[in-house]
Amino acid sequence: MTQETQSGDNLPAILKSLSDEELATLRYFLRYRSVGEILVSRELRAMGIKNPSKILAKLVSLGLIKRGIGCYTVSKNVIDAFRRGEIEI
């Protein structure tokens, strides 16, 4: 993860590079903030996401969500940028 990703400076460019499934997953996290691993996998599959673990791993690698102990949480930088209107998802 780069410093730009951590600070949110490059967030709009990162969001433009995401697939429809990745954006849908990020919208899910903006709505629910923090979700257990098992539940998020089930719910993403129910939403039509074919490979939730691959999508989650990519979003974690980009710094858009964080993986905790048994859960995933949307990054504070993403939430802050969304609230300030700097990004639309």
pLDDT at 6: 52
Residues of 31-53 as b/e, b for ≥16 C-beta within 10 angstroms?
eeeebebeebbebbeeeebeebe
- Cβ–Cβ contacts within 10 Å for residue 69, how many? 5
**Identity of residue 15:** L
% the chain with pLDDT above 90: 84
| pLDDT tens by residue, 32-45 | 999 999 999 999 99
Per-residue CA distances from 73 to 76, 82 (Å): 9, 15
Structural domains present in the chain:
3-83 (1.10.10.10)
